[in-house]
Structure 1
């Protein structure tokens, strides 16, 4: 059975991706910092007849990532999903610590995981690295400077890695979602303010769900080995662009 490692798998897109890959026949290794949430997701996968392991791990901790990789028997797919946005302040007022935190988890964490697992991915003879970026990675907006910068870093990581792995049996897939309504993303960004978090999606008919993005990832990973989905942008119908969102009412 092929093995897929999914970071940030305790909730949202990561949890849904682990479940989608399990349904596609993968043994899924779920990675995140919250042990209780991870085990809940892994338990659902097992209850559905899949194989899943839950590993508590902070992807920004290089030593821990190295130890994790050393303990794996093999890896066929790595989904670099761990990430997040912190704060909506304009550049003039932004907290540099927020920018640093976003860069660490969205970019450096993905770098740690990719470097640690690249030998196993290559040895598999048919490896795939998936990088979750965002439409924010190539479209800036007020209050989103730090997040856009971090996701642009993830976009650059994916593009550069694809060039550097040319000729090797490892695909690099970048998925760039637009507006996705998950339980925690906007809540974390607005520092727990539920009203502000809810306002992001107010009047939007059917924003993307975590499951929508997860199915997109599973589809990209399941293409024949000679087919690489370099960059796939996925938005809800209501969102024509970063600044163009149709709202009712």
Structure 2
């Protein structure tokens, strides 16, 4: 009960900071909207079936765009924590009885809440702009995958921030890691059009499964086996990264 109460206290404080400047929640939608408006139309006239697409062009692109937003929207959350470390916020936490795990979970749940809101807005705008039919049951399940990705990468970002304590060190590290992960996840185009060696590499990328699952759910293909595969992989990754990052938090505030 203490963990839940402490997590709620941290989460409430962090959300209040977001709600004081809600414009930043919408600003984070600008980049995916650029992709939707300026890149999406390039796909609409593609012979998708002949190219091996399982679904239509926009039905393939939009779920990938949501996963991309989930990855980039939370993986860089740790930059804010570095500022808090520099200002002595984490140092002052040492004298409080707040659970160390709650310090992480409250922040990560703030990031996840913001992310889910942004994902819903992006999907609704995609429906208006591209005329997509939304499968609501599939969308709800897809948002659970988005939630798990957000929790995993937000926790990882905070753990890395505590380790490095420097934006100059953190930025190139995250960019070096995220680029191959992004390219091997088939976010922009499905990996069915990729050569065999690229598809083989992608099998070791859990986010490739997440992208395929998001596309299946978005299109109402609720029995596709990739869904439970993605759920298992992303769920395990989230648990692992939360555990690792919580230990970093505990050591930094003990």
Report TM bin, short chain: 0.3 to 0.5
More strand per residue: 1
Q: Which has the larger radius of gyration?
A: 2
TM-score, normalising length: structure 1: 0.33
Bigger RCO (CA 8 Å, 6+ sep): 2
TM-score, normalising length: structure 2: 0.32
